[in-house]
Structure 1
Amino acid sequence: MKRLVILLLSICPMLAMAQGHKGSVEACAPMKEGKVCYSDEVDVEGMKKGELFNAIDKWAKKNYGKDVFLSSVTSSKSKGTIFINSKVELLLNETDKTIVKYKMRIYCFDEKYTIELTDITYQYDPNNEKKYKTYPAENVIANNGKINTIALIKDPLLFCNATFFFAENLFGDVFDAAEDSN
């Protein structure tokens, strides 16, 4: 019980951030092997691999399995893996938006899961002319937007922060799915 209370207290700040708070963060574009990669490892005491898999897979299929033109879910219960490809509209501020495409990989184990959000690209049309161009996140938000190579994107930090909070929200949703079944 003591561990559960400590776990909840340590996760509360993360969940508060995952609820859509906007703003600026110090390191909004973590990198792994030259790619922007958001990741997390979450301990879920007392849950077996199969239970975690079932809970997260159910969430994934409910949220990403409805429209094959927007997203797809591939899962393997025996391996404990859930792979999601998706694209959604990402609000950058009150007036700007972009379509963000990404891959989410979730690996379930006994009493924990890991999650990665990678292969992020933006389809952006600042003039709303339906002439979207696709830009990899590495060209826009790497090094917190300081090495943006896309002249059309005037405020890469806006993309960086919005993507960070989007990832935190996704991670919070996965956490909620795992906890709701516990």
Structure 2
Amino acid sequence: MNRYLLTIVCFMFCSMSFAQVVKQGEKFMEVSEVEGKVVFLKEIQLKEGTSERDNYQILREWAKVNYDKDPFRSSVRYDNRNREIIAKSRVELVLPIDTKGVREKMIMRYRINAFLFQGKCVLEVTDIIYLYENTKSDKQPFPRLIRAEDFITDKQLEEIGGHLEFKQNTRKSTFYFLNELSQDLESKFGY
């Protein structure tokens, strides 16, 4: 147990020094990298006047509603001892209309870790991979699977000739989805 807590504390200190930690009520606005991986972190205050056990039950219920319904779309694991959930899922992102008037779609796979720590619920979204399937034509020079690190980071957007608009639209849709997801979790804790 102590080893687990020490690992979490070390991870939190490392993450906070390199990643954007979004506070309650704020939105994701930057793509942060920790040790070369895209990571989104958000801290949400636990419900006041509620025990840690009851707060964990709120987190479990949220995970159950969002990730425990369709085994073909997502999976969730509950760690009751450490008051943590780990979920893997995918979502179809509808990108904004580009300058050609085309609205592309991307499948985004991701992993969520959410746990209670020092009076807060910490939401971590990582392991983001995009699945691009252009059904109209295969003219886009993208691999079928695209890691977020290779597509939506500031460094990738600065590269010349790298389909900037498509990358920007994917980034916008990713932010939109993550902000809606975190806002939904905040509402469960009464904010």
TM over 0.5: yes
1:113-152 matched pairs, under 5 angstroms: 113-128=121-136, 133-143=144-154, 145-147=156-158
Quote the residue 1:98 is aligned against: 106
Name the CA shift for 1:148/1:49 in 2 (closer, same or farther; >3 Å): farther
Shift of 1:109: 3.3
For residue 190 of structure 2, give the secondary structure of its aligned residue in structure 1.
Answer: helix
Stretches of structure 1 lacking an aligned partner (at least 5 in a row): 1-9, 18-24
Deviates more, 1:139-148 or 1:160-169: 139-148
Q: Distance in 1 between matches of 2:146 and 2:52?
A: 36
2:157 paired with 1:157: no
1:72-111 matched pairs, under 5 angstroms: 72-94=75-97, 95-109=103-117, 111=119
Stretches of structure 2 lacking an aligned partner (at least 5 in a row): 1-22, 98-102
Identical aligned residues as a percent: 27
Deviates more, 1:48-57 or 1:76-85: 48-57
Quote the residue 1:5 is aligned against: none
Q: Which has the higher contact order (CA 8 A, sep 6+)?
A: 1
Shift of 1:50: 1.3
Q: Distance in 1 between matches of 2:131 and 2:162?
A: 14
Name the CA shift for 1:54/1:140 in 2 (closer, same or farther; >3 Å): same
Name the CA shift for 1:37/1:63 in 2 (closer, same or farther; >3 Å): same
* Conserved 8 A contact 1:148-1:156: no
* Conserved 8 A contact 2:111-2:127: yes
Shift of 1:29: 1.3
Name the CA shift for 1:43/1:91 in 2 (closer, same or farther; >3 Å): same
Name the CA shift for 1:149/1:126 in 2 (closer, same or farther; >3 Å): farther
Quote the residue 1:20 is aligned against: none
Shift of 1:73: 0.8
2:17 paired with 1:32: no
* Conserved 8 A contact 1:46-1:111: no
Q: Distance in 2 between matches of 1:150 and 1:124?
A: 19
- Residue in structure 1 matching 2:53, options 50, 54, 65: 50
CA RMSD of aligned residues (A): 2.9
Q: Distance in 1 between matches of 2:181 and 2:90?
A: 13
Shift of 1:148: 5.9
Q: Distance in 2 between matches of 1:31 and 1:108?
A: 22
